[in-house]
Amino acid sequence: MAKERKLFGTDGVRDLANTGNMTPEIALRLGRAFIRFTHGKRIVIGCDTRLSGRMLEGALYSGMSSEGAEVYLTGINPTPGVSYAVKVLGADGGAVISASHNPAEYNGIKFLGSDGCKLSDDEELAVEEFLSRDERNTSHNVGRVYDSPGLVKDYALHIASLLNPEAVMNNVAFDCADGASAMSVPVLVDATKFSQLNTKIISQDFDGLNINRDCGVMHMANLTSYVVKNGMSLGFAFDGDADRVLISDDKGRIIDGDIILWVLGRWLKKFSGNDKVVVTVMSNMALEAHFSDEGIKTLRCPVGDRYVLETMRESGAGLGGEQSGHIIASDFTSTGDGLCTAMLFLNAVHDLGENVSTLADRFGRYPQRLTNLALIRPRESVDMDSVNAIVAEYTERITNGRIFIRTSGTEPLLRILVEAPELETVEELSAILSSRLKEFC
C-alpha cells in the first residue's frame, strides 16, 4: 500500500497557530526538511497578514538557513507573488506562510518548486520523510537571509502589465480581505488607468487578527453590499493569500469560479485556440453544458488547484480552476492567482463584448447544495467505503444529477455536495444524507 501524507493536506500543512503542527519547532524542522529534499540553495518566503506569520517565518528561515540555503524574505506577499518571485530569481523553491481563507487563529506552510508550482503529493510525502529523520546539518555553512520587500511590488507591476488599458472599467471595487493583496492591489491600481477612475479598495486595513473576518471571498456580502450601495460596476474579492477571486456584478450577484471559467474558456479558445478546460468535481454541471455548446472539452479532477494544474499538464489544457475561485491560466501563471484572474477577466469581457450584468442570468446553474458536517474523528479514519455505499444508494434516484462526498483537506469537515435539475430533489437529498452520514463523523 502506498504511503499517505500525515502532515500535508490539500493546501500544505495547516493548524491553529502555535499549536499542533503549526508551532515554531515544526516550522523550523519543515524548513530544514524542505532544503534537504530540494538541495535548494536559494529560497523565497512570503506570508499573509496573520499575527503568527512573523513568528513562523523566523523559525522557517532559520531551518532553511541552518542547511546553508540563501533565503529571500518578501514579507506580506500573495501566494502567486511568491511563485512569481521564485521564477524571477531563478530560485530553487519557495514557501508561503498562510492559512488562505481560514480565520486569523490558523496558519499554514505550503511549499513551491523551482517552477513556482505547488509540490505534488509525492513530493510532499518526501518532505515528510526527511522531516521524520530530523537530521541536523553539522556543517558550519550558514545561509544568508535577505529582506526583499521590493519583490512584492515587482509582482504587482507584472500583473498590471497584463491588463489591456482599453479593458479597464470605471467604478470597480477591490476587497482585499485584510490579507496579502492589501499590499499588492494599491500598486496595481496606481500603475493602471484604474488610478484615474472611480476605483475603491476596501478591507485593506489589516491588524494581524482581522484577515478574512467578514470580508473577502468567504464573506461576499461585504463586497456585494458595497457594490450595490455605491453604484459600482463590478467588484473583485480575494482571500487571505489572494490565490482566489470571486466577483460581484453591479446587482450584487456573485460571479463564481465556474462563471469566470466560462468567460475565460471562450476567450482563450477564440484568441489562442486552446479548447480544453480543467474543472474539479465541485463545478456545476451547467458549465460542462455551456462548454459543450462552444466546442470546448471539459476535464474533471479532484478538489485542489494542485490537481487542476497536474491535469492541465497531462491534457494540454491552457485553463483550469475551481468554483471557489482558484483559477490557473498556464500562459500567465503557475498557480491560482486572484489578481491575475481579475485582470484576465476584464480583458476577456472587453474582447468578447460581454455584458457582466447578465452573466449570472445566462449561466443558468443547476441547483446545488454543499453541506459541511463537522468531523470529530481524524479524516483518515472516516469509513469512506460505507459512506460511498450510502451515496450510491441515493445517486440512483437522481436523473441528470450527482452526489459527491469528500473529507476536506484543510478543515475537519465532511463535505456533501448534491446537484440536480430540481431544487426540491437537492434539498430533500441533502437533508437525508446529512442525517445518515453524521454517524461517520
CATH assignment of 8-148, among 3.40.720.10, 3.40.1190.20, 3.30.43.10, 3.40.120.10: 3.40.120.10
pLDDT in tens, 30-49: 999 999 999 999 999 999 99
CATH architecture, range 153-252: 3-Layer(aba) Sandwich (3.40)
257-363: CATH topology is Alpha-D-Glucose-1,6-Bisphosphate; Chain A, domain 3 (3.40.120)
Catalytic position from the list 100, 181, 184, 248: 100
pLDDT for residue 11: 84
Domains 153-252 and 257-363 share a fold: yes
Tell me the CATH number for domain 368-440. 3.30.310.50
The grid cell for 114 is 523551482
Spatial contact of 85 and 46, defined as CB atoms under 8 Å apart = yes
Domain boundaries, the chain: 8-148, 153-252, 257-363, 368-440
Active site residue 315: no
pLDDT for residue 1: 42
Stretches in the chain below the pLDDT threshold 50: 1
pTM of the model: 0.89
